[in-house]
């Protein structure tokens, strides 16, 4: 894997990030096949500019779910 210089965007990048880069494959825009070697990848981004092309393999970041408020039915102090 080539270094993309992005580091772990999920841990140190934009708090609004929806995914982090888990791998980069140069000279391909076939994300489906390129990211098979990264078991945590569940998406990809491809780029092609002239003859330069690459695929970033991405892992989605889950947003922590807020607990639902508890509803109490009936009298609190009987």
Q: What is the pLDDT of residue 12?
A: 54
Q: Model-level pTM? A: 0.63
Q: What are phi and psi of 6, to 5 degrees?
A: -90, -20
What is the chain's pLDDT, residue by residue, as a tens digit (78 residues)?
343 444 444 445 678 889 999 999 999 999 999 999 999 999 999 999 999 999 999 999 876 555 666 655 656 555
Domain count, the chain: 1
Q: Within a domain: residue 10?
A: no
Q: What is the pLDDT of residue 44?
A: 96
Q: What is the pLDDT of residue 27?
A: 97
Residues 6+ apart with CB under 8 A from 25: 1, 34, 35, 54, 55, 57
Q: What are phi and psi of 45, to 5 degrees?
A: -130, 130
Q: Within a domain: residue 78?
A: no
Q: What is the pLDDT of residue 16?
A: 84
Which domain does 47 fall in, by range? 18-60
Q: Within a domain: residue 48?
A: yes
Q: Within a domain: residue 32?
A: yes
């Amino acid at each position: 894997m080539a270094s993309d210089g992005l580091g772990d965007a999920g841990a140190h990048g934009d708090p609004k990030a929806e995914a982090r880069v888990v791998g980069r494959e140069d000279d391909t825009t076939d994300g489906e096949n390129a990211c098979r070697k990264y078991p945590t990848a569940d998406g990809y981004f491809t780029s092609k500019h002239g003859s330069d092309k690459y695929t970033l393999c991405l892992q989605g970041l889950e947003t922590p779910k807020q607990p639902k408020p508890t509803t109490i039915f009936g009298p609190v102090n009987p």
